[in-house]
Amino acid sequence: AFVVTENCIKCKYTDCVAVCPVDAFHEGPNFLAIDPEICIDCDLCTPECPAEAIFQEDALPEGMEHFRELNINLAQLWPVITEVIPAPTDADEWDGVPDKEQYLLI
């Protein structure tokens, strides 16, 4: 399955959800999570993310491995999102900021 990682936090562009053929994305307050039970590994979402936040679970960048578990848990908690919504107005300012996990809202 594919996994949403830290750089999505506070960027939440949602371009990814429009291309997912199986509606695997779930929406939280400032982050999205992929349900690995639903994801069919099509890799359509990865190039759509302006924040380059999506990775295959076996190719997660160093330090992002725990996002695999986080996606599993948050996807169960949050509702499915299938349509693009406006990004936060300050999304571009947060793109690439390190250590954003502290701002993750559940």
- Contact set with ligand SF4 (CB under 6 A): 2, 19-20, 22, 24, 34, 39-45
| SS3 category, 87 | coil
| SS3 category, 79 | coil
CB 98 within 8 A of CB 4: no
- Compare residues 25 and 58 and give the one whose CB is closer to ligand F3S: 25
Q: Which residues pair with 2 in a beta bridge?
A: 56
DSSP 80: B
Binds 44: which of ligand SF4, ligand F3S, none (CB < 5-8 Å by kind):
ligand SF4
Quick one: which segment of 35-43, 47-55, 67-75, 98-106 binds ligand F3S (CB under 6 A)?
A: 47-55
Using the rule CB under 6 A, is 70 a contact of ligand F3S?
A: no
Closest CA to 38 of 22, 62, 56: 22
Using the rule CB under 6 A, is 34 a contact of ligand F3S?
A: no
Chain residues binding ligand F3S by CB under 6 A are 4, 8, 11-16, 32, 48-49, 51, 53-54
